[in-house]
Structure 1
Amino acid sequence: MTTTLTTTPMSEAGHRLPTPADVPGRAGELLASLGERAVLCDLYDAVGASVYHDLAGTGTHEVRELLALVRRIPGPVLDLAAGSGRLTLPLLALGREVTALELSPYMLELLDRRLADAPPALRGRCLPVRADMSDFALGRRFGAIVLGTTTISLLDAEGRQGLYRAVREHLEPGGRFLLSTVDMTATASGPAEVDMEIVTDSGRAYRLFEHWTPDAGSRTVTLFPAVTAATGPVQVCTTTIGVLPAELLEAELAAAGFSVRSRHPLPAVGERHHDVLLETEVTP
């Protein structure tokens, strides 16, 4: 069962509803060509959550590296922005107690379904919680707090400050805060927009556009069905994500009272995604 906490007021899925004006480049042109047939969805709403979950199951980006760090850290784990459990289930498989914190109720529904199909011993070690990662109070501490998939980029500067405060309050003495972000020093410039087709493990295929120039402060990801019918509605999912370079993140963490213990470059995803996993602790 999911526990719900009072959080900073936000939309139900944690994002404002997208508009066609939010979609730049060729993705925007394709969206415009669909006209009224296009049904635009946020990537974390009732429709988008299922698409995000489908895509998240296609790879193990950063999972192996994160689990290797968690193995060395005793105690329960807090998985922030847990989504449908991309990291939660592997963390549970380590034999740990895991609190899975997520704001989107649609993501939590997917996680609850996955837990219902899991072995009872694994399911019994997980507590899903609906809360905002920038403002939460769980009344307990954790040996490790993790925030993967460069999700910190979804928060603005004020939200990140709230996150740092909450993490400090929930870490055990000597605990670790593990989080990933973009390593701009390793990220190739590349084209402004990438257009690729992705076939997921479920067999569904998507056409994914990512519009981003490294000097921009955000990137826009838009997903269409790889094949669209000649008539009828077409669901299009999009989200705009901030880009937080590792150097800026490390400076913010230092100002918030964290020390970076280690920096782990992550395997590249395509030509433009060079991320880094930071292992941090509260500065003594």
Structure 2
Amino acid sequence: MPEEKIDLFSGLSPGYDGVGEFYDLFTDDSDIPFYIQHAEKMGSPILDVAAGTGRVSLALAREGFEVVALDCSASMLADFSRKLQQVPLPVSGRITLIQANMEQFKLKQRFSLIIIPHSFSHAMTTEAQLACLHCVRQHMSENGLFILDLYNPEAQYAHARFEDLPVSIANGRTVERHGEISSDSDRRILRVDLQYIVRSADGSIVETVKDTSGAALISDVEADLLIRKSGFEVISEAGGFDNSPYDTDSSRRILFLRKKRRK
């Protein structure tokens, strides 16, 4: 009897739940000046959707902006809350934490700027993506700006492994991250397997934490259709946080959107 093949792409979830303490250690912060620049143009209040442990929200609050940080993960928000206890009160006082799914949230205010840094692709289906965009539109002010940050699926590897350099943490310990990325081009799904290895000062392993997450590979055509069906229109787009022009070789597609104007 032939061995049953395991479907590695079935039942994938957004992931990262329970790994917030390590997540920030390996995240590239090169997007922070970009978001601050656009916050300065649009002003408060700002909605940070899928805010995670508050990497971007905290940076904006430090610059004086009022931020509502929304995430579905209780563990991520718990890590965020611990961070808030360690920053000056004027900074923490500018941030409101909301636990809610980005595909289904209803808040009692409208926002000048809405951002979804790195995370929109965790809405894994077309239905989920449309639901998220609908919620975003419902919460935008009439002249508000929505920055939609997408990975360019054409720039993703079919399969790749990587290993990050160790990062120092408390008590002389270090954390290293090993990862494997796989994609299913037919189903337009990306799978990311991460392993965080914590070592003591003598190099012995004291903890290993594994995380598996999934993301949708959203083509340009699909993204354009989602935008139109959700009542947005494109103001401009960029291929990176340096505002370089977007082309098929860009690693990201960053879209600047507003509510579609009636003619």
8 Å CA contact retained: 1:81, 1:100: yes
Write the mapping of 1:133-212 to structure 2, written as runs, cut at 5 A. 133-149=102-118, 151-155=119-123, 156-184=125-153, 187=155, 190=157, 192-200=159-167, 202=169, 203-212=174-183
**1:175 & 1:209 partners in 2: Cα distance?**
38
Letter in 2 for 1:223: L
* CA spacing shift, 1:22–1:99, aligned 2, 3 Å: farther
Q: 1:215 to 1:196 in 2, by over 3 A?
A: farther
Q: Deviations over 1:189-234 (max 9, x none)?
A: 6562233334346441111111236666111111224589999984
Structure 1 stretch displaced more, 196-205 or 60-69 = 196-205
The answer to whether residue 246 in structure 2 is matched with residue 277 in structure 1 is no
Structure 2 residue runs without a partner (length 5+)? 1-5, 243-248
Q: Within 2, Cα distance between the matches of 1:100 and 1:124?
A: 12
Q: Once the two structures are aligned, what percentage of the paired residues are identical?
A: 22
Distance 1:22 1:238, change over 3 A: farther
Residue 49 of structure 1 corresponds to: 20
CA contact (8 A) 2:34 2:241 kept: no
SS in structure 1 of the partner of residue 164 of structure 2: strand
Match of 2:76 among 95, 102, 107: 107
Which stretches of structure 1, 4 residues or longer, exceed 6 Å deviation after superposition? 227-233
* 2:87 pairs with 1:121: no
User: Structure 1: which 5+ runs fail to align?
Assistant: 1-20, 25-40
Cα RMSD between the aligned structures?
Answer: 2.9
1:257 is matched with which residue: 213, 228, 231? Answer: 231
Higher RCO (Cα < 8 Å, 6 or more apart):
1
How many residue pairs align between the two structures? 239
Counterpart residue number, 1:34: none
CA offsets 1:34-89 (integer angstroms, 9 cap, x no match): xxxxxxx984333x333323323xx2142222322222112300000000011111
Residues 42-121 of structure 1 aligned to structure 2 (within 5 Å): 43-46=15-18, 48-56=19-27, 59-121=28-90
